């Protein structure tokens, strides 16, 4: 039978590193090995009770199984309430829209700005969905380097002029997954002036503003003067509220961008499932002391893991933010993938090679802070007993 003919776009999609890691994990489990999976950033905390109750109650109402068609007015008000309380940012109703998680929203927003062949700017290393926002729109993907020597901040002054003239939008995210650093306030002020000067739209992914360790609270891009004139921000409920499976996030900021994005999504979407909207309302307006408790727990895990690894011979810096840790691979290993595979084989510890996040991620690995301190102590003992950090192990 003649083979099916698929699009170039889908043919270019290759199985990700997570598939290879998962296959290796299954092999180890089949052998009866203990596995410590720090590769995927799924919170191990439970959603707050009042959020789950709101979802349960809404699921009991048969009217809530109809098309939502739009965001509930109460949901829009809840986002306004949260932004004012959390970030001291006053949003208008037409500056807010929901998406099925930041991943889905980011994947589709490129269609708002780009014609095939247009150019976008994304960080390298950076979260893979950033590139996909351009791929889905047929855009040309250009990267800006995120390097340790610059504090993992983009060197805005040295981005080539001809690239700036072509770029439609630039994706920025701090605290940044995977490099786990926070940006100082002056960076955002510089970024906004940069965007205005070069007529570039800024898409800011703000998934981890509630999980930072350099100060008590992160900030919103929109809390800086002029931000709404140049872009929008993605604000997710996945990590702060442990609602990863519910798939709800918000795009907030420039009203013209919001209007155009809503028009696009009206052609492919009938609105967020109403029980999820009611859960989000409860999350955004209800008690939020548990968010600070979680932040402190992540901070304790960060200290336990990074400090413990340094004590046994792996010089891993403390994370500044996100639910991850970013580390150079030990000396004696050629690639991040080869180190990850040997680490998994010898110790059962699964981490993500930095090369999964772009060429500039090679030589690094990312670890997720998704196990408690007791489990961290256990895996540190396993690592110490292995020869994984011995330069002469070969």
Judge whether residue 46 has pLDDT over 70. Answer: yes
- Which of 14-23, 130-139, 367-376, 379-388 bottoms out in mean pLDDT, i.e. has the lowest? 14-23
Q: What is the pLDDT of residue 2?
A: 63
Q: Are residue 31 and residue 79 in the same domain, yes or no?
A: no
CB-based contacts of 366, cutoff 8 Å, min separation 6: 39, 177, 178, 180, 324, 325, 326, 351, 352, 354, 356, 357
Q: Is residue 391 part of a domain?
A: no
**Total count of domains within the chain:** 2
DSSP string, 324-343: EEEEEPPTT-S-HHHHHHHH
Boundary residue ending a domain (222, 255, 285): 285
pLDDT tens, position by position, 81-93 = 999 999 999 999 9
| Average of per-residue pLDDT across 208-233 | 94
Structural domain includes residue 392: no
Q: State whether 41 and 59 are in the same domain.
A: no
Q: pLDDT tens for residues 165-189?
A: 999 999 999 999 999 999 999 999 9
Q: How many CB atoms lie within 10 A of CB 187?
A: 17
Q: Report the alpha-carbon distance of residue 250 to residue 297 in Å, rounded.
A: 26
Helix (H, G, I), strand (E, B) or coil at 120: strand
Q: How many percent of the chain have pLDDT more than 90? A: 89
How much is the average pLDDT of 347-355? 95
Q: Tell whether the model's pLDDT for residue 154 goes beyond 90.
A: yes
**Tens of pLDDT along 352-361?**
999 999 999 9
**339 and 255 in a common domain:** no
The first and second tokens of residue 99, run together, are 């998406």
Cis ω before 318 (30° cut-off from 0): no
Question: What angle in degrees, to the nearest 10, is found between the helix axes of 274-285 and 49-59?
Answer: 150
- For residue 107, the SS3 value is helix
351 in a domain, yes or no?
yes
Residue by residue, DSSP assigns 40-52 as: S----SPPPHHHH
CA distance 15 to 267: 29
- CA dist 323 and 262 (Å) reads 31
Task: Calculate the alpha carbon distances from 288 to 50, 82, 85 in Å.
Answer: 10, 10, 11
Q: What is the pLDDT of residue 15?
A: 66
Mean pLDDT of the chain: 94
For the four alpha carbons of 98, 103, 108 and 109, in that order, the dihedral sign comes to positive
Instruction: State residue 140's pLDDT score.
Output: 97
Shared domain for 222 and 94, answered yes or no, is yes
The last residue of one of the domains, among 251, 285, 319, is 285
Query: Of 236, 254, 285, which residue constitutes the final position of a domain?
Result: 285
Same domain? For 39 and 55 the reply is no
Q: Are residues 199 and 90 in the same domain?
A: yes
Tell me: pLDDT of 370 over 50: yes
Q: Which residues form the domain of 140?
A: 49-285
What is the rounded average pLDDT of the residues 65-93?
Answer: 97
Q: Please report which confidence band the pLDDT of residue 3 belongs to, taking 50, 70 and 90 as the band edges.
A: confident
* pLDDT at position 394: 46
| Higher-pLDDT residue of 10, 350 | 350
**Does pLDDT of 392 surpass 70?**
no
What tokens appear for 45 in the block? 């905390």
**Same domain (yes/no): 32, 166:** no
Q: 231 with 194, same domain? A: yes
Query: Are 71 and 114 part of one and the same domain?
Result: yes
Per-residue model confidence (pLDDT) at position 18: 75
pLDDT at position 22: 82
The CATH number assigned to the domain holding 27 equals: 3.90.1150.10
Long-range contacts of 304-311 (CB under 8 A, 24+ apart): 304/373, 304/376, 304/377, 305/367, 305/369, 305/376, 305/380, 308/376, 308/377, 308/380, 309/380, 309/383
State the Cα–Cα distance between residues 370 and 44, nearest whole angstrom.
Answer: 6
List, in sequence order, the alpha helices (H) in 121-226.
129-135, 161-166, 185-198
Instruction: Examine the pLDDT at 100 and tell me if it is beyond 60.
Output: yes
In angstroms, what CA-CA distances link 312 with 281, 309, 340, 365, 389?
46, 5, 17, 17, 8
One domain, residues 276 and 293: no
Clarify whether residues 178 and 32 are in a common domain.
no
Instruction: Please report whether residue 112 resides in a domain.
Output: yes
Nearest by Cα to 116 from 143, 140, 84, 97: 140
353 near 365, Cβ under 8 Å?
yes
Report the percent of the chain where pLDDT is more than 70: 97
DSSP letters, 38-101, are: -SS----SPPPHHHHHHHHHHHT-GGGGS---S--HHHHHHHHHHHHHHH-----GGGEEEESH
pLDDT in tens, 270-327: 999 999 999 999 999 999 999 999 999 999 999 999 999 999 999 999 999 999 999 9
- DSSP letter at 362? T
Higher pLDDT, 309 or 20: 309
Q: How far is Cα 169 from Cα 158, in angstroms, rounded to an integer?
A: 17
CATH classification at residue 169: 3.40.640.10
Tell me, yes or no, whether 184 and 311 share the same domain.
no
Question: Do the domain assignments include residue 87?
Answer: yes
HSE at residue 64, side-chain half, CA atoms within 13 A, is 17
Return d(Cα 277, Cα 59) in angstroms, integer: 11
Angle, CA of 105, 54 and 43, to the nearest 5°: 55
Inside any domain, residue 250 = yes
């Amino acid at each position: 039978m003649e083979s099916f003919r698929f699009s170039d776009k889908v043919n270019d999609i290759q199985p990700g590193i997570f598939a290879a890691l998962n296959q290796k994990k299954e092999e180890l489990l089949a052998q009866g090995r203990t596995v410590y999976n720090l590769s995927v950033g799924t919170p191990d905390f439970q959603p707050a009770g009042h959020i789950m109750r709101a979802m349960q109650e809404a699921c009991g109402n048969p009217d809530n199984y109809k098309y939502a068609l739009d965001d509930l007015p109460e949901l829009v008000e809840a986002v306004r309430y949260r932004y004012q309380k959390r970030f001291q940012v006053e949003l208008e109703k037409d500056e807010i829209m929901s998406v099925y998680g930041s991943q889905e929203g980011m994947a589709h927003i490129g269609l708002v700005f780009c014609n095939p062949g247009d150019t976008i700017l994304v960080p390298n290393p950076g979260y893979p969905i950033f590139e996909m926002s351009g791929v889905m729109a047929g855009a040309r993907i250009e990267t800006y380097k995120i390097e340790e020597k610059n504090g993992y901040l983009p060197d805005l002054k040295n981005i080539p002029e001809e690239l700036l003239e072509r770029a439609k939008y630039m994706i920025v995210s701090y605290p940044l997954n995977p490099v786990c650093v926070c940006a100082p306030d002056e960076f955002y002020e510089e970024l906004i002036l940069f965007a205005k000067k070069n007529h570039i739209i800024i898409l800011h992914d703000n998934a981890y503003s509630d999980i930072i360790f350099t100060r008590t609270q992160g900030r919103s891009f929109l809390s800086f003067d002029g931000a709404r004139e140049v872009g929008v921000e993605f604000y997710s409920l996945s990590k702060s509220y442990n609602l990863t499976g519910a798939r709800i996030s918000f795009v907030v900021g420039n009203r013209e961008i919001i209007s155009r994005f809503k028009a696009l999504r009206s052609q492919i979407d009938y609105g967020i499932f109403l029980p999820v909207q009611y859960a989000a309302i409860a999350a955004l307006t209800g008690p939020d002391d548990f968010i600070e408790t979680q932040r402190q727990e992540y901070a304790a895990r960060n200290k336990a893991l990074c400090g413990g690894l340094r004590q046994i011979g792996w010089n891993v810096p403390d994370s500044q933010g996100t639910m991850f840790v970013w580390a150079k691979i030990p000396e004696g290993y050629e690639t991040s993938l080869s180190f990850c595979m040997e680490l998994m084989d010898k110790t059962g510890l699964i981490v993500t090679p930095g090369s999964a996040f772009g060429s500039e991620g090679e030589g690094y690995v990312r670890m997720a802070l998704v196990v408690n301190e007791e489990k961290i102590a256990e895996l540190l003992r396993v690592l110490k007993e292995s020869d994984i950090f011995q330069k002469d192990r070969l």
